[in-house]
Structure 1
Amino acid sequence: MRTFTLANLAVAASIAAVSSAATVAHAQSYPVKPIRIVVAYPPGGPNDLSARTVGQKLSEALGQPVIVENRAGAAGNIGSQYVAASAPDGYTLLNGASALTIAPALTKNLNYDVVKDFAPISLTTVSSFVLAAHPSVPVNSIKELIALAKSRPGQLNYASSGVGAPPHLAGELLKNMAKIDILHVPYKGVGQSITDLVGGQVDMMFTSPPNAIPHVKSGRLKALAVSTARRSPLLPDVPTIAESGLKGFEIGTWFGLLAPAGASADIVNRLNGAIVKIVNTADFRERLSSQGMDAMSSTPAEFSAHIKAELAKFSRLVQAARIRAE
């Protein structure tokens, strides 16, 4: 049996003290080199725009370059897996999106676990969807839409940017909560779906405010409602679906920074503190607003709880709608 003498304990205590001091020193000096924010989608989309806006401000706050790196593919799973497997030293972060919490419900055998393999830092951005309809659809509100759909089961349709995409799930949530039967028409991307909606080939769709607003202003589309709990600042006169009669309806897009699991609490808190300050600046809020997004921060614990709630919500919704990834 191994015995511990006072000398043994003194050595162990010295090692622990040195280790603790090194950890504190590392956290206090962090960052000492460039930080990468991985975007799991191609350049130019909302995730990429959000990451670059956050990255620029984070670089100014931390005094180190922040590089945005696009690692697209497999519906965001390649970039997410890359960050999950990276060193938890605070120098590789993921600009996570709501799609991160949809993937486990749609994809079997993911090579990462959204809860176990990431350390949430903070939400940075939220954005609503607009339920936009073609003018030929004889409704001007959610209540009228529900009444029309119930009188014509299976005859109305809605487009989306793809099977399993957040706008598709927004449509399924509407079907589920309103107990209506409307047909899903999936597209491979936003562009053609908007073109066909404006052309009257499809009846309606959930899409981002920047996609809808030009057509709403020109009268080629009408905005029935927005999908988040609060009205969009870009469409202040358009009600939410929840206030239009479907209490509890809430779905949208969010972005937030996550580190690989194992990142120290000191580093997570350092990054969180910087983001909270950034999000509260008028310049940051204005830049996001111009892109159709709202700035929002959170504590790491709040972000973690949000992720878990989203995972549960989308799991139930995907199962109820029997959605299968293409």
Structure 2
Amino acid sequence: MAMIMKQAQIFNHKYRIVWPLFFIFSFSFSFAADLSNEANHYPTKPIRLILPFPAGGGTDNLARIMAPKLHKLLGQPVIIDNRPGASGNIATEAVAKANPDGYTVLMGYNSALTFNPLIFQSLSFDIQKDLKPVSLLATAKYFLVVNSSVPAKSVKELIALAKEKPGELNYSSAGNGGTLHLAAELFKFRSGTEITHIPYKGGGPATLGVLTGEVQMTFGSVTSVMPHIKTGKIRAIAATSLTRSSVLPDVPTLNESGLSGFNVTSWYGLLVPKNTPEMIVTKLEKAVHEVMESSEVKESMAKQGLDVTLSTPAEFDEIIKAETIMWRELNKKLKITAN
């Protein structure tokens, strides 16, 4: 009898251990099956595309060209959600902390993803740990431009003028830590000049600062500076890329104007929360590639000064990591801060 009771106790003890484990494994299997089922039928509701830019800019236009075409391919609306501010951190945080279900997507850009983590000390998210790349979308070239009243008509003359008047020339940017800020600080470092930074809230206001004469120079995108170059209100001195722009082929590059190897461009790409299922990431990647590879979209992008540049998720991930390392090393010399 005692033996029977002892065996019963052992059985009950094992049962108490195994039974909860059974529920855990059953729940895990059910949860995984639900995720797989959702991924198979994705998307079943509107997708929110979060942009770290205000409405009306060149990159906002890129998103609005893509959105209806993605809607047609995926069968669900793509809603543009503009969340500018904090050098892109507001939009990036919103996606980093969103549910990893494929319905919240970030259109990120290089300085926000590779440089902000180096200069903002209290970010509540980690680019590498909280976001998953989907695809690179496009790249953009920039131009060094000056107010038409500035006597310099070449890089050499502008450098000479800045050295003649150290600290007296001002340049505008779209905000601390942005690509245009980085381009200007790299220009100062490479040319050995002292030019004062005046940050504005966006690329449009930064260009306006040059037009009104509040500042003498800036680094601007094709869409922001081209109309004013045509009217003669500002003058293009150089392109920031290694090769000349097809939009302004007569404007030399900084690389060929004495600053060998100077190359600052911008890129844009899509990212999702880190734990988004691979099946969903693949669906987004394929849809985006189909949209961006159409001749209609490429022509529209060219008018915005953007070159369609696509990648796999793994390639995009490597680009982010490599550029982060590059800026980390370079900022040891530039010493740019978020303040």
TM over 0.5: yes
**Contact 1:106–1:318 (8 Å) recurs in 2:** no
Equivalent position amino acid for 2:98 in 1: S
Listed as ranges, the gaps of 5+ residues in structure 1 are 3-11
Rounded Cα–Cα distance in structure 2 between residues aligned with 1:196 and 1:87: 40
Match of 1:139 in 2: 152
Listed as ranges, the gaps of 5+ residues in structure 2 are 1-13, 15-23
Q: By how many angstroms is 1:144 displaced?
A: 3.7
**Contact 1:38–1:71 (8 Å) recurs in 2:** yes
- Rate the CA distance shift 1:320–1:197 in 2: closer, same or farther, 3 A: same
Per-residue deviation, residues 21-67 of structure 1 (Å, max 9, x unmatched): 76665444322222111123433334432222222222122222111
Match of 1:38 in 2: 50
1:90 to 98, 102, 114: 102
1:111 to 124, 128, 131: 124
Is 1:209 matched up with 2:205? no
**Contact 1:100–1:114 (8 Å) recurs in 2:** no
Equivalent position amino acid for 1:55 in 2: A
Match of 2:133 in 1: 120
Please show how residues 66-85 of structure 1 align to structure 2 within 5 Å: 66-85=78-97
**Contact 2:242–2:255 (8 Å) recurs in 1:** yes
1:54 to 66, 69, 74: 66
**Contact 2:87–2:177 (8 Å) recurs in 1:** no
Is 1:325 matched up with 2:332? no
Q: By how many angstroms is 1:269 displaced?
A: 1.9
Max Rg structure: 2
Rounded Cα–Cα distance in structure 1 between residues aligned with 2:204 and 2:49: 27
Rounded Cα–Cα distance in structure 1 between residues aligned with 2:120 and 2:33: 43
- Rate the CA distance shift 1:71–1:273 in 2: closer, same or farther, 3 A: same
Rounded Cα–Cα distance in structure 2 between residues aligned with 1:95 and 1:179: 35
Match of 2:5 in 1: none
Per-residue deviation, residues 196-227 of structure 1 (Å, max 9, x unmatched): 42344432111121221122122222111122
1:218 to 228, 231, 234: 231
2:285 to 248, 268, 272: 272
**Contact 2:140–2:306 (8 Å) recurs in 1:** yes
Match of 1:312 in 2: 325
- Rate the CA distance shift 1:217–1:306 in 2: closer, same or farther, 3 A: same
Match of 2:112 in 1: 100
- Rate the CA distance shift 1:20–1:109 in 2: closer, same or farther, 3 A: closer
**Contact 1:50–1:255 (8 Å) recurs in 2:** no
Give me the TM-score of the superposition, normalised by structure 2: 0.81
- Rate the CA distance shift 1:286–1:307 in 2: closer, same or farther, 3 A: same
| Identical residues among aligned pairs (%) | 42
1:229 to 242, 254, 257: 242
Rounded Cα–Cα distance in structure 1 between residues aligned with 2:290 and 2:242: 24
Rounded Cα–Cα distance in structure 2 between residues aligned with 1:199 and 1:73: 24
Is 1:239 matched up with 2:252? yes
Larger CA deviation: 66-75 vs 185-194? 185-194
**Contact 2:87–2:178 (8 Å) recurs in 1:** no
Equivalent position amino acid for 2:110 in 1: S
1:157 to 170, 193, 207: 170
2:75 to 42, 55, 63: 63
Match of 1:173 in 2: 186
- Rate the CA distance shift 1:17–1:177 in 2: closer, same or farther, 3 A: same
Rounded Cα–Cα distance in structure 1 between residues aligned with 2:100 and 2:71: 19
Is 1:183 matched up with 2:202? no
SS in 2 for 1:256: strand
Give the count of matched residue pairs.
319
Is 1:298 matched up with 2:311? yes
Rounded Cα–Cα distance in structure 1 between residues aligned with 2:53 and 2:63: 11
Q: By how many angstroms is 1:260 displaced?
A: 0.3
By percentage of residues, which structure has more helix? 2
SS in 2 for 1:115: helix
SS in 1 for 2:64: helix
Give me the TM-score of the superposition, normalised by structure 1: 0.84
Equivalent position amino acid for 1:49 in 2: N
Q: By how many angstroms is 1:317 displaced?
A: 4.5
The CA RMSD over aligned residues, in Å, is: 3.1
**Contact 1:47–1:95 (8 Å) recurs in 2:** no
